Amino acid sequence: MLRGLTTTSFWADDLEAAKEWYTELLGLEPYFVRSGPDGRIAYIEFRLGDYQHELGIIQSGYAPHGPIGEPGGAVVYWHVDDVAASYDRLLAMGAKEHQQIIQREAGFVTASVVDPFGNILGVMYNPHYLEILQSMQG
């Protein structure tokens, strides 16, 4: 039934600030930007990674669950080649620690932060991700 991630949605009150922050973090501009009825940015979307996964950031006023008071919900982990360097960079950019770096069994390493907009962003070194990527490349 679940075939793969399509879009991960984050929320932010200030989409201009979120656009700048994620553009700097990812090193690329969003490929899609939509304005709301008031002319301000309401939605931005980035395509990133080996599979061009989508990261959408939506103006908080459109959140189906109302205002976000604190980080919560699922943690989506993005594969990175160096968790420590990625984690340090996120903290240096103003993210707050959510979960410190954890060395897990079988070579897995995880950490997570809360971005400046209240979303949990996970980073992970995942050997299975690399195995699957290598098998698909032949």
Summarize pLDDT for 66-100 with one digit per residue, the tens. Answer: 666 677 667 899 999 999 999 999 999 999 999 99
In a 10 Å sphere around its CB, with 0-12 CB exposed, 13-18 middle and 19+ buried, how is residue 131 labelled?
exposed
pLDDT digits (tens, 9 = 90+) for 33-61: 999 999 999 999 999 999 999 999 999 88
Look up residue 7 and give its two tokens: 């879009």
Note the pLDDT of residue 61. 86
Higher pLDDT, 30 or 70: 30
**Domain coordinates in residue numbering, the chain:** 1-62, 75-138
Higher pLDDT, 115 or 6: 115
Nearest partner of 63 among 87, 48, 43, judged by Cα:
43
CATH topology of domain 75-138: 2,3-Dihydroxybiphenyl 1,2-Dioxygenase; domain 1 (3.10.180)
13's torsion region: left (phi>0), alpha (psi -120 to 50) or beta? alpha
Is CATH 3.30.720.120 correct for 1-62?
yes
- Average pLDDT score over residue span 61-68: 74
- Other CB atoms within a 10 A radius of the CB of residue 93 amount to 14
pTM of the model: 0.86
Strand extents, DSSP E, the chain: 7-12, 32-35, 41-48, 53-59, 77-79, 96-103, 109-114, 120-125
What percentage of the chain reaches a pLDDT higher than 90? 79
Note the pLDDT of residue 117. 93
- Looking up tokens 């994620």 gives 22
**Whether the predicted pLDDT of 31 surpasses 70:** yes
Note the pLDDT of residue 64. 76
